[in-house]
Copies of this chain bind each other. A is one copy, B any other.
Amino acid sequence: MAKEVTKRADNYSQWYDNLVVKADLAERSAVRGCMVIKPYGYAIWEKMHEVLDKMFKETGHVNAYFPLFIPKSFLSREAEHVEGFAKECAVVTHHRLMANPDGPGVVVDPSAKLEEELVVRPTSETIIWNTYKNWITSWRDLPILCNQWANVVRWEMRTRLFLRTAEFLWQEGHTAHATQQEAIDEATKMVNVYADFARRYMAMPVVVGHKSPNERFAGALDTLTIEAMMQDGKALQAGTSHFLGQNFAKAFDVQFTNREGKQEYVWATSWGVSTRLMGALIMAHGDDNGLVLPPALAPIQVVIVPIVGKDEEGNRAIFEKMGELKKELEAHGHSVKIDDRDTLRPGFKFAEWELKGVPVRLAVGARDLANGTVEIARRDTLEKISAPVEGLGKRIEELLDEIQENIYAKALKFRDDHIVKVDTWEEFKEKIEEGGFLLCHWDGTPETEERIKEETKATIRCIPIDSAVCEEEGTCVYSGKPSHRRVLFARSY
């Protein structure tokens, strides 16, 4: 087959880069660091968007849209925020091109310089809090629970499709609250929405926890994260939810009159997931044959491939049967595609749909027709069975559920097999080379965190919220100082 993918064991990183392109998910564009999301990849993102949007609305949020551009001075208003984003901004300085006076083409028109430069949003806290200032007067105006689906730009020097691109698509929730507790609850609620989405739809187990101060979002008092394990044992931060305290309210002077008639600064959260989730989905489940998509997010859940012969009447009967099957499966709510391309052989088609991760493949040939059966191949286990056409709708429904569960169970087992408690520095250095998450004690200082990173490239992925696993007395794996709980270390994307 032409589209063979590097094997994971040979080069996991190359396997990923290969797969993204060969499965028609995305490709690099002519613009440095920016990707083209191809129709098949975009269809998966659309599914994610649809499910998440519903979950946000069910938790009381509404969508809105704020400007792409942020005046340069806005970024500086919050000291840590500008520190975090200034170094990787796309900056608009002019608003017109003109014919090149010295040759062909166009050049920037020097007379069209902007009074103040505009930054293409790397995230929207500043422009949104500048807007909220006019929306909020009294406690009656709170909470504000807005979400935005948008593109953002961060001028990363090293980019990889989906995982780290200069432009990416995401959603960013920005909420405003009357009390600290309400904002903290909101940030917690949303990280749990993300965890729930990862588990139920992406079939991807995650560890929920707090970031260490070093790894917090620029401007946050607390950052909650979901961390997923990829098949090379590295961690991928798949979504974050920030408690911003009153930092942005103070930076943009957003105050409200509380129930007691006093002026107070507003409390804030922000939270987001991005097209990075596509990278997580690919790396969490893919195998050497290609993608393995969980049915809940697969644009095509069932593909039907005809096994035609030379008997034209027989072929017609096969196509007729496939049409009936498609209708029946669609009536059960599944998305079905008939691969009727007449220039390709079945074997080629099988490999292509495996590469694209379609959960279930049906093959229908003359013999099946005679026997009243179809061949069912499931993508997750690569098993094939022959099954009666009778009652196929219900059978496929059960099978899709089973596949969804199996993919999750497999990922969960893999993760749990690769989380180890580590208590000595020697063991830490040894285990981190094997990949996986290390649960160990840390003395709570940024200095120790930094040294561990320098020596092993491992960072604190999170301080898990699951206290049963983590809360115990011990001593720091690096410094030997006392510690009250274990944290999660790993190398990461």
- Residues of A near any B CB (own CB < 8 A): 27, 29-31, 34-39, 42-43, 45-46, 62-76, 82, 86-99, 104-108, 117-120, 127, 130-131, 134, 140, 146, 150-151, 153, 155, 167, 169, 343
Given contacts A70-B31, A71-B30, contact A63 B43 (CB under 8 A): yes
Contact of A65 among B30, B36, B92 (CB under 8 A): B36
Q: List 30 A-B contacts (CB under 8 A).
A: A27-B134, A30-B67, A30-B127, A31-B71, A34-B68, A34-B69, A37-B64, A39-B64, A43-B63, A68-B120, A68-B151, A68-B153, A69-B90, A75-B97, A75-B106, A86-B97, A86-B99, A86-B106, A88-B96, A89-B95, A89-B96, A91-B92, A91-B93, A91-B94, A91-B95, A91-B97, A92-B120, A96-B155, A108-B117, A140-B343
Whether the Cβ atoms of A119 and B97 lie closer than 8 Å is: yes
Nearest CB of chain B from residue A439's CB, rounded to whole Å: 38
Closest residue of chain B to A82 (Cβ to Cβ) is: B106
- What residues on B are CB-neighbors of A105 within 8 Å? 72-73, 76
- What residues on B are CB-neighbors of A63 within 8 Å? 39, 42-43, 46
Whether the Cβ atoms of B74 and A106 lie closer than 8 Å is: no
Nearest CB of chain B from residue A24's CB, rounded to whole Å: 10
Closest residue of chain B to A119 (Cβ to Cβ) is: B97
Give Cα A134–Cα B21 distance, bound, in whole angstroms. 13
Give Cα A90–Cα B169 distance, bound, in whole angstroms. 20
- What residues on B are CB-neighbors of A62 within 8 Å? 39, 42-43
- What residues on B are CB-neighbors of A127 within 8 Å? 29-31
Give Cα A172–Cα B31 distance, bound, in whole angstroms. 19
Please name the 3 residue pairs, one residue from A and one from B, whose CB atoms are nearest each other, closest first.
A34-B67, A37-B65, A39-B62
Closest residue of chain B to A341 (Cβ to Cβ) is: B140
- What residues on B are CB-neighbors of A75 within 8 Å? 97, 106
Contact of A69 among B66, B167, B169 (CB under 8 A): B167
Given contacts A42-B65, A68-B167, contact A95 B106 (CB under 8 A): no
Closest residue of chain B to A115 (Cβ to Cβ) is: B32
Whether the Cβ atoms of B67 and A86 lie closer than 8 Å is: no
- What residues on B are CB-neighbors of A39 within 8 Å? 62-64, 146
Nearest CB of chain B from residue A85's CB, rounded to whole Å: 8
- What residues on B are CB-neighbors of A90 within 8 Å? 69, 92, 94-95, 118
Whether the Cβ atoms of B31 and A69 lie closer than 8 Å is: yes
Closest residue of chain B to A146 (Cβ to Cβ) is: B39
Give Cα A266–Cα B429 distance, bound, in whole angstroms. 58
Give Cα A95–Cα B87 distance, bound, in whole angstroms. 8
Given contacts A90-B95, A93-B91, A155-B95, contact A131 B31 (CB under 8 A): no
Give Cα A27–Cα B43 distance, bound, in whole angstroms. 32
Give Cα A156–Cα B292 distance, bound, in whole angstroms. 47
Nearest CB of chain B from residue A77's CB, rounded to whole Å: 9
Give Cα A315–Cα B278 distance, bound, in whole angstroms. 51
Give Cα A117–Cα B93 distance, bound, in whole angstroms. 10
Closest residue of chain B to A85 (Cβ to Cβ) is: B97
Add 18 more A-B contacts to A43-B62, A65-B169 (CB < 8 A): A30-B74, A35-B67, A36-B65, A37-B65, A39-B146, A68-B120, A72-B97, A72-B105, A72-B107, A73-B105, A86-B96, A86-B97, A90-B92, A93-B94, A108-B117, A120-B120, A140-B343, A151-B151
Closest residue of chain B to A77 (Cβ to Cβ) is: B105
Contact of A67 among B104, B108, B167 (CB under 8 A): B167
- What residues on B are CB-neighbors of A107 within 8 Å? 72
Nearest CB of chain B from residue A198's CB, rounded to whole Å: 22
Contact of A97 among B67, B89, B134, B169 (CB under 8 A): B89
Give Cα A153–Cα B121 distance, bound, in whole angstroms. 14
- What residues on B are CB-neighbors of A94 within 8 Å? 90-91, 93
Whether the Cβ atoms of A64 and B93 lie closer than 8 Å is: no
Closest residue of chain B to A95 (Cβ to Cβ) is: B155
